[in-house]
Amino acid sequence: MAAARDVAAPANTRNSIRSKWTRQQSMATFAALFVATLTFFAHDLYRARERAQHEFRSVASVVAQNCAAAVYFEDDVSAAQTLASLNSLTDFESAWLRDTDGRLRASLPVGASPDGTRAPSVWDWDRLLIVEPVVLDGDEIGTLTLRVDLRTQKAALKQHLALVLFVLVVSGGIAHLLARRFVQIVTDPILHLSSTASGVQRSKDFSVRVDAGGSDEIGQLIAAFNAMLAEIEHRDQRLRAANQDLERQVVAQEKAKKAAEEASVAKSEFLANMS
């Protein structure tokens, strides 16, 4: 039996099973990487804001305690001096100290427009607002409001996001290359089977066989294909033998017919001569 020769892959490789499978594997892997990356980045963003809130809330708590006496005695000068210590903080923007009646006792920088929020903490993409109660002997006598500029952290997060996206693209490219490599293990026998079937269709040579595969589904498919070719070859041989036998019978009948015709002519001529 002739062994099947490797046949070149179809010209339209974009629609081949290898290309389709590679694209699907790459898309699935990239989607998983994207979801994982997005999850980790969202977690990092949340943790960064939590750290900033915890850090400045701790600072606000200490400053509020230091301002308690100044608020109680309505010593606005001491309150302003206490707030001035906030200037040493990175990303600090402004602060307001008010009593329970809502009167502004001090602000930093001086003359800064007070924020009216009473929420414990409010943030957006650029700023974090922290409201800390001023307590003396267990009684709330005022509130300290801090506004923090988060643009520095935002810039750092943007750099982190750019790095994450770069890693995502590189990982996606590596995943695509690995997918192409791994997909070949499965698709090469299928493509070889397809090219062999096309060759048999063109040449009508049913003695061709595909190299045996493994014991998986593809190997079973190849074995079934070879069995089908063997059955077709056997039937083709029987058909050729039957045709050859029929041709011999036709030739023999033609010879017998010709001999009978010649005998009949000879008999007619003999009878004619006798008469």
Q: How far is residue 188's CA from residue 124's CA, in Å, rounded to a whole number? A: 54
For β-strands 121-123 and 127-136, DSSP reports them as antiparallel
Q: How far is residue 182's CA from residue 77's CA, in Å, rounded to a whole number? A: 74
Per-residue pLDDT, 251: 87
Residue type, 49: R
* CB burial of residue 197 (10 Å; 0-12, 13-18, 19+): middle
Per-residue pLDDT, 14: 57
Q: How far is residue 205's CA from residue 110's CA, in Å, rounded to a whole number? A: 97
Residues 129-183 have pLDDT tens digits of 899 999 999 999 999 999 988 878 788 888 888 888 898 889 888 888 888 888 7
* Distances 103 to 67, 71, 121 between C-alpha atoms, Å: 15, 10, 20
Going from N- to C-terminal start, the domains of the chain cover 9-188
Per-residue pLDDT, 12: 52
CATH fit for domain 9-188, picks 1.10.1060.10, 3.30.365.10, 3.40.50.1970, 3.30.450.20: 3.30.450.20
Strand partners, 143: 98, 133
Task: Give pLDDT < 70 ranges for the chain.
Answer: 1-15, 111-125, 213, 275
Q: How far is residue 130's CA from residue 56's CA, in Å, rounded to a whole number? A: 8
* N- to C-terminal Cα separation, the chain: 69
* CB burial of residue 164 (10 Å; 0-12, 13-18, 19+): middle
CB crowding 61-80: b at 16 or more within 10 Å, else e: eebbebbbebbeeebbebbb
Nearest CA among 89, 84, 129, 76 for reference residue 109: 84
The DSSP symbol for 236 reads H
Per-residue pLDDT, 19: 80
